[in-house]
Amino acid sequence: MEIASDLQSSISNPCMELTEVERERLAKLEQLRASGIEPYPLRSQFVRQRVLAADAVRQVLASAQSQADGTAGDDALSEVAVMGRVVARRIMGRAAFLGVEDGSGKIQFYARVGDDSLDATSFAHFKELDLGDFIEAKGALFITKTGEPTLRVTDWRLLAKSISPLPIAKEEKMPDGSVVRHSAFSDPELRYRQRYVDLAVNPEVREIFVTRAKVIKALREFLDSKGFLEVETPVLQPIYGGAAARPFITHHNQLDQDLYLRISFELYLKRLIVGNLERVYEIGRDFRNEGVSFKHNPEFTQLEFYAAYMDMYDVMDLAEEMLQYVAHQVLPPQAEGKSQFRGHTIHWLQPFKRIKLRDAILERTGIDYTRFPDRQSLADEVLRRRLLTPDVLRGKPWGKIVDSLIGDYVEKELVEPTFLYEYPRDISPFAKSVPGDPTTVERFEGFIGGVELCNAFSELNDPFEQRQRFLEEATNAEEGEANPVDDDYVRALMYGMPVTGGFGMGIDRLVMMFTNRDSIREVLLFPALRQEERAGLR
C-alpha cells in the first residue's frame, strides 16, 4: 500500500525520485496504453496451457535426441505456452532473442518478422520489452543452430511491465562448462533490504529457501512418523521462561497487562506432557532481545520436542536419527550425506561423536573441573592457566565459567556432528541431576562445524526441586536473564509429569549447515536490520 502510494506521488511529481531509466520505462508504459496494450492485464491468456520452462527444454532436447538416433517417429513438437520474466535480451534487427525465466528454470524465446512468427506491430513491441518484464508466449519448440532450446514465438502478451531496472547479471559460459556471473547483485545490505530483488536475480538465493523448506518438511515427516503431535503454544506469554535470555516486552491494551514474546516453548510443551499428550513438538518463532551476530537474529525458528518415558540417551539416539533423516532427504544423492559448512566437510551419515563435557574440557584446557567444584577454586585455576581473563570471569557462577570454557576452547573444535553430555547443574535449571552427582545434570548439546546446534535433557519433573531451582536462578542470575519463577508451571508438575526427554534446535543454524552459509542472515528471508533512515525508500 505504502509503496503504491509512493509510486503514485512519484508519478504526479516529476521531480521526485524516479531515475532516468525508470522515467524512460514509464514513458514506454504510457505509450503501450496509448496504443491499446494494457501493461498490467487482468489475467494470463495461456495459464491453462502453461508448460514450465524446464519441462519445455527437456521435451525439445529429448525430441532432438531421438531424431539424431533415428528412433523418432513423426512426433512433431506440439505448440506450448511458457510464461516468465525476461532476463536476457538480444535484439538483431528483424529477429530477437529473449531469455525467459520461470520458477523451474530458463528457456529462450525467439521471434522474427514474418509469416511463421510475428507481424510487424507485434514484433516491434516484442523488441521493446525490458529486462524484468513478465510475458507469456505460445509457439513451437526447436533448437537453434548454436544448440539452444528455444520457443519460436507466434503469439505473446505482456503480463506485467517492470519500471525499476532489476540488476540482472550477465552469465558467461566458459569453455570448461562453468558459468561466470558478471556484475552480480551482491551488496549484502541491499540484498537483505530488498530481498525481492535478490530472489528475482540470484537463483542460488531462491535455492537456499527451497532447501530451508525441505529441512522443515523433513523434520515434520520424521517426528510425525515417530508418533509426535505437532502443537502450537502461545507466543505472547505473561511469564517468559525456558531459556536464559532477555525478552521483548509488549502490552495488551484491554487486559492492561504486559506480555512477553516467548524466548522458548519449553514450559508450555511440558505442561502438555503433564496433560498426557506424551509426544509433542512445535516448530515456531522464538524472540530474544540480545545482540545480533552471524548466528543470532532477534527472531529465529526453533524446533522443540518432548517425549514422555525417554531420557537424555533416548533423545540423543532420536536426535541423531532425525538429523540423519533430514540429511538424507535434503542433500542431493551425489553429496553422499556430506555437506560443506564454514570450510569443513560435515559427514552427516556417520555415527555422531559422544563425549562427556568433562573429558572435552579436560582435553582442550587441561582442567578437570570436577576437581574444582566451587566457584573460587575453579576461577583461580582458570586464571592460573590464563584460560580466561578476570574481566570475563567477573560475576560468573561456577557453571557459567564452565560454559565459557566450552565456548572458548571446545565449541570451535567440534566439527563433525558431536554430542557433549553431562552439564553443570547451575546452568541447567530444567534438567535432572546425574545420580550421585548433585553438580551435574543429564543434559547434552549438539555441535556441528564448530557451531552449537541443539540442546536437550532429561527433564526435571520433581515439582519441589523445580521450585528450588527457580529460586536459585532468581538469586544468582544476572539482571534480566533469570528464569522468572513460573508458579503455574510448578503447579502443573504437582499433578505429575512422567519421566520425559526434551530437545531444542535452532532451525536457522541447521539450514546454514546444509546450505553452506556463514551467516544466519543468508537463511532468513527478511533478517533484522536497522530501520532505513532515508525517506522515500531509496
Partner RNA sequence: GGGCCGUUAGCUCAGUCUGGCAGAGCAGGGGACUUUUAAUCCUUGUGUCGCAGGUUCGAAUCCUGCACGGCUCACCA
Q: Point out which span in 62-70, 109-117, 153-161, 368-376 binds RNA (CB under 7 A).
A: 109-117
- Kindly list the distances between the CA atom of residue 447 and the CA atoms of 107, 223, 350, 451, 509, in Å, as whole numbers in the listed order: 43, 21, 14, 5, 11
Say how far apart CA 372 and CA 351 lie, in whole Å.
Answer: 33
247 contact partners, CB below 8 Å, separation of at least 6 = 240, 260, 261, 262, 263, 287, 288, 289
Between residues 330 and 401, which has the closer beta carbon with respect to RNA?
Answer: 401
Supply the minimum distance, in Å, between the C-beta of residue 217 and RNA.
26
Between residues 281 and 470, which has the closer beta carbon with respect to RNA?
Answer: 470
- Kindly list the distances between the CA atom of residue 288 and the CA atoms of 76, 135, 143, 264, 282, in Å, as whole numbers in the listed order: 61, 44, 55, 9, 18
Say how far apart CA 343 and CA 346 lie, in whole Å.
Answer: 10
* Near RNA by CB under 7 A: residue from 15, 43, 74, 173: 173
* Near RNA by CB under 7 A: residue from 62, 92, 249, 537: 92
Supply the minimum distance, in Å, between the C-beta of residue 17 and RNA.
9
Supply the minimum distance, in Å, between the C-beta of residue 276 and RNA.
25
Closest of 288, 286, 280, 257 to residue 480, by C-alpha: 288
Between residues 73 and 93, which has the closer beta carbon with respect to RNA?
Answer: 93
Supply the minimum distance, in Å, between the C-beta of residue 468 and RNA.
15
Supply the minimum distance, in Å, between the C-beta of residue 177 and RNA.
12
Other C-beta atoms closer than 10 Å to the C-beta of 154 total 16
Interface of this chain with RNA, residues 473 to 512, rule: CB under 7 A: 478, 481, 483
Reported as half-sphere exposure (CB side, CA atoms, 13 A), residue 187 has a value of 6
Q: Point out which span in 46-54, 242-250, 305-313, 369-377 binds RNA (CB under 7 A).
A: 242-250
Is residue 144 near RNA by the rule CB under 7 A?
yes
Backbone Cα Rg of the chain:
30
Supply the minimum distance, in Å, between the C-beta of residue 282 and RNA.
16
Say how far apart CA 55 and CA 53 lie, in whole Å.
Answer: 5
Interface of this chain with RNA, residues 206 to 235, rule: CB under 7 A: none
Is residue 165 near RNA by the rule CB under 7 A?
yes
* Near RNA by CB under 7 A: residue from 288, 425, 432, 509: 288
Q: What is the phi-psi region of residue 70: left when phi exceeds 0, alpha when psi lies from -120 to 50, beta otherwise?
A: left
Provide DSSP, 149-162. Answer: EEEEEEEEEEEE--
Supply the minimum distance, in Å, between the C-beta of residue 408 and RNA.
7
Interface of this chain with RNA, residues 368 to 387, rule: CB under 7 A: none
Is residue 52 near RNA by the rule CB under 7 A?
no
* Near RNA by CB under 7 A: residue from 97, 209, 248, 313: 97
Say how far apart CA 516 and CA 334 lie, in whole Å.
Answer: 16
Is residue 428 near RNA by the rule CB under 7 A?
yes
Task: Indicate the SS3 state at residue 59.
Answer: helix
Is residue 350 near RNA by the rule CB under 7 A?
no
Is residue 14 near RNA by the rule CB under 7 A?
no
Q: Point out which span in 8-16, 230-238, 240-248, 251-259 binds RNA (CB under 7 A).
A: 240-248
CB 473 within 8 A of CB 241: no
CB 356 within 8 A of CB 369: no
* Near RNA by CB under 7 A: residue from 171, 221, 311, 320: 171
Q: How many residues bind RNA (CB under 7 A)?
A: 76
Is residue 364 near RNA by the rule CB under 7 A?
no
Say how far apart CA 174 and CA 402 lie, in whole Å.
Answer: 53
* Near RNA by CB under 7 A: residue from 79, 148, 311, 472: 148
Between residues 62 and 349, which has the closer beta carbon with respect to RNA?
Answer: 62
Between residues 182 and 251, which has the closer beta carbon with respect to RNA?
Answer: 182
Between residues 330 and 402, which has the closer beta carbon with respect to RNA?
Answer: 402
Closest of 343, 277, 339 to residue 305, by C-alpha: 277
End-to-end C-alpha distance for the chain, whole angstroms = 16
* Near RNA by CB under 7 A: residue from 123, 185, 325, 489: 185
Is residue 57 near RNA by the rule CB under 7 A?
no
Strand ranges in 233-298 using DSSP code E only, listed in sequence order: 236-237, 249-252, 257-261, 279-287
Interface of this chain with RNA, residues 434 to 463, rule: CB under 7 A: 445, 452, 455
Is residue 77 near RNA by the rule CB under 7 A?
no
* Near RNA by CB under 7 A: residue from 110, 156, 287, 372: 110
Say how far apart CA 406 and CA 424 lie, in whole Å.
Answer: 12
Between residues 48 and 530, which has the closer beta carbon with respect to RNA?
Answer: 530
* Near RNA by CB under 7 A: residue from 43, 145, 384, 386: 145
Interface of this chain with RNA, residues 112 to 131, rule: CB under 7 A: 112-114, 130-131
Is residue 427 near RNA by the rule CB under 7 A?
yes
What are the backbone angles phi and psi of residue 376, rounded to the nearest 5°?
Answer: -65, -45
Task: Indicate the SS3 state at residue 436.
Answer: coil
Query: What would the 3-class secondary structure string for 3-28 be?
Result: HHHHHHHHHHCCCCCCCHHHHHHHHH
Closest of 452, 503, 441 to residue 317, by C-alpha: 503
Between residues 45 and 476, which has the closer beta carbon with respect to RNA?
Answer: 476
Supply the minimum distance, in Å, between the C-beta of residue 483 and RNA.
6
CB 525 within 8 A of CB 349: no
Is residue 293 near RNA by the rule CB under 7 A?
yes
Supply the minimum distance, in Å, between the C-beta of residue 515 and RNA.
15
Is residue 192 near RNA by the rule CB under 7 A?
yes
Say how far apart CA 429 and CA 397 lie, in whole Å.
Answer: 14
* Near RNA by CB under 7 A: residue from 52, 245, 499, 525: 245
